[in-house]
Amino acid sequence: MTTPLSAPPPHSDTHETEAPDGEDQAQRAAELAALHRAADAGEAAAAWVRELAGHQCEEDHGRLLERVAEAIVQASSREIIPDSDGLLTEELRYTLAAGVVLGASHTTGTLPELHDGERMPLITVCAIAAALPSCVLGDLARELNLLASELAAAIEAGRTATAAGDARVLPLRQLRALGHEHGDPLNRLAYRGVFDSAVESFEIALHYQDGRGEEACEEALHNALAAAGPGIAAAALLRVASDPALGLDLDQWEHLHRLATELDLDVVEDLGGANGDGTTDPTQPRPA
């Protein structure tokens, strides 16, 4: 006789009894992945803030930003505690407040040395980090992933502003050392391509205009300029796109590259190194 303990409950279904466990495991896996993502974003944000700290001449500003970096790491990892009240300690809330852009001005009488465009991302990074622990009160995985994405976007904006600001104060000799001068082998390669195209157009036009004197030269020169123009414009667009002082975002950079490609694909490939490293003798004809 079957005892009540060994009998299955009425209308039981094996899949129904196992489903909650499977759902719980999937939820726990999603939450764990979101926790790792938040921690990684926090580490990246803290690394950028530490760079800002390293730019400070006033030690007090540097130390304060170092504390902010540590607070970001803590708020994006150890402070995200499931089943807690989701609140930060008063010290962490104070450290991550918007006053971070004022630094230690109450003791130094100066403001932190921040480039244009760095302050807003810095405030945003701190605000998002401070909000991360509260995700435990709602849909942890979904909310953490959303805030981690926003934190990554704020970091990207901050790093773009930092790169642009650094480039604006970079001495000219350093820019040259980085290859921003006409002696760059890839520049020479691109120039040779544009030059060859112009010469070919010039010679063809001059050949068919034989015997027309000055008019023939003008027509040939017109053809040469028409052949060289798109390549020159493409090269100029690429130089603008690669200038960190402009602080272009990825969409703007891609847009300029797309325009340059439409103007002259060969120049884009030359300057990108797709057609070689540009170290061959630029006086030799380009390969067909």
- 137 in the same domain as 227: no
| pLDDT for residue 135 | 95
Taking the chain, what is the end-to-end CA distance rounded to the nearest angstrom?
Answer: 92
- 150 in the same domain as 57: yes
Our count of domains for the chain comes to: 2
Between CA 288 and CA 286 the distance in angstroms is 6
Asked whether the predicted pLDDT for residue 164 surpasses 60, the reply is yes
163 occurs within a structural domain: yes
Q: Positive or negative CA dihedral for 163, 166, 171, 172?
A: positive
| pLDDT for residue 210 | 64
118 occurs within a structural domain: yes
- 143 in the same domain as 197: no
The two three-digit tokens of residue 250, written as one number: 């990825």
By residue range, what is the domain housing residue 117?
Answer: 33-169
- 152 in the same domain as 220: no
- 41 in the same domain as 156: yes
Q: Which of 169, 196, 217 is the last residue of a domain?
A: 169
- 39 in the same domain as 158: yes
- 188 in the same domain as 160: no
- 164 in the same domain as 56: yes
97 occurs within a structural domain: yes
SS3 content of the chain, % helix, strand, coil (to 5): 70, 0, 30
Taking only the tens place, the pLDDT of each residue in 200-250 is 777 777 677 665 666 777 777 777 777 778 888 888 888 888 777 677 777
